[in-house]
Chains A and B, each alone.
Chain A
Amino acid sequence: RKEVEQDPGPFNVPEGATVAFNCTYSNSASQSFFWYRQDCRKEPKLLMSVYSSGNEDGRFTAQLNRASQYISLLIRDSKLSDSATYLCVVIANTGNQFYFGTGTSLTVIP
């Protein structure tokens, strides 16, 4: 079983739409969670950390559900510039290993 699993999409949504991605993880002892954004042919960049209480950054909201072992990313009022691949990252409690999901592709359509 993979450490981290994501729906690869693609998600094609119109501008202004709300879209949500989920990511499940297998290690219940995982402690740290992140969402990274990767533009086409570019390196991944940190979008936001995911805290137990949930956190919001402008149009982006990240949440953690420990009971069901998943994290989510919600994007409201989608912009064309949001088109990218969104990678979820889980850090295992031991060894500080970063596990990346396969990424979810989002295209925002005018």
Chain B
Amino acid sequence: GENVEQHPSTLSVQEGDSAVIKCTYSDSASNYFPWYKQELGKGPQLIIDIRSNVGEKKDQRIAVTLNKTAKHFSLHITETQPEDSAVYFCTSGGGADGLTFGKGTHLIIQP
């Protein structure tokens, strides 16, 4: 089955700096890569997604990149703000079993 590795497990950045979270996947058939943000006491919420026919996608301060050849994808958050503090999950999908989640990155924004 699909295997998704996510790094780092914890990331601490100064407010205003950029944050980058990286993931790799194993199944070359995967073609959909959503990212979720989970705030304390809440369920994961979709923040951005990318499909395998696209190399990069941006939405305001958030961008995702995908390298199909290397089987890795990344989340970039620029000009980080306190409300960006949360756990972020990368996921990989495209098969019959739905999405496979990475183990999560705890992003801490230092004031």
Q: Do A and B bind each other?
A: no
